[in-house]
Amino acid sequence: MSDFWSNPNFEPKRAFRFLIEFTPGAGGDLDGGANSLQFLAKSVDRPSYTVSSNPHAFFNHTFYYPGKVTWNTISLTLVDAVTPNASDIFMKYLGNIGYNNPTNLATATAKTITKQTATEAMGRLLIKEMGTSPDGTAEPKGEWSLNNAFITEVNFGSHAYDSEDMIDIQLTIQYDWANYKA
């Protein structure tokens, strides 16, 4: 693009222009669809992958060959609100994936966590990159979808008497692969 500096139609993607579609719960619906956490999103990583390389040594040389693709985890930071109560939602997530508090032998062995229960409880997570149309209205310019995603870590944040900050909940999400639609 030789006229980059003088082209008024060039618009870079901006870090603050994003929306998420995320309704956790069994099958993506914990309480009748009432728990969309879209407006609680504070930040989210874009998907990333790593291609491993395998060395082959030959005399004084080393040659590298591509190996397997591994999709890296993403981090999603949400504000913990009173309604919807994100702490409550993610504690219920544990039950939805098959975890019981081990209060006795029966509850400790009643259920187990499976990939199916974890991905169904996660629901769907879409990361929409927003831009503007020529008339100035907001519209999606790209969309990431994570396949077979599930939560691997939840950090419920911390309290402090000397802070007026909102409490954040930090999620780490694992997935098998991502799709991108422009």
Angle of helix 115-122 versus helix 86-97 axis, rounded to 10: 150
Of the CATH numbers 2.40.10, 2.60.40, 1.10.1130, 2.30.110, which one belongs to the domain with range 13-181?
A: 2.30.110
The pLDDT score that the predictor gives to residue 26 is: 46
Cα(44)–Cα(163) distance, rounded to whole angstroms?
23
> How large is the average pLDDT for residues 113-123?
93
The pLDDT score that the predictor gives to residue 25 is: 67
Inform me whether the pLDDT recorded for 59 exceeds 80. yes
Mention every residue, 6+ apart, whose C-beta is less than 8 A from residue 54.
64, 65, 66, 67
pTM greater than the 0.75 cutoff: yes
Residue 142 near residue 181, CB atoms below 8 Å? yes
* pLDDT > 70 in the chain, percent: 93
Cis peptide preceding 84, ω within 30 of 0? yes
pLDDT band at 90 (very low <50, low <70, confident <90, very high): very high
The pLDDT score that the predictor gives to residue 33 is: 52
Residue 37, judged by CB atoms within 10 A of its CB (0-12, 13-18, 19+), counts as buried
Q: Looking at 5-9, 25-29, 121-125, which range is the least confident one?
A: 25-29
Residue 59, judged by CB atoms within 10 A of its CB (0-12, 13-18, 19+), counts as exposed
Q: Transcribe 116-153 into DSSP letters.
A: HHHHHHH--EEEEEEEE-TTS-EEEEEEEEEET-EEEE
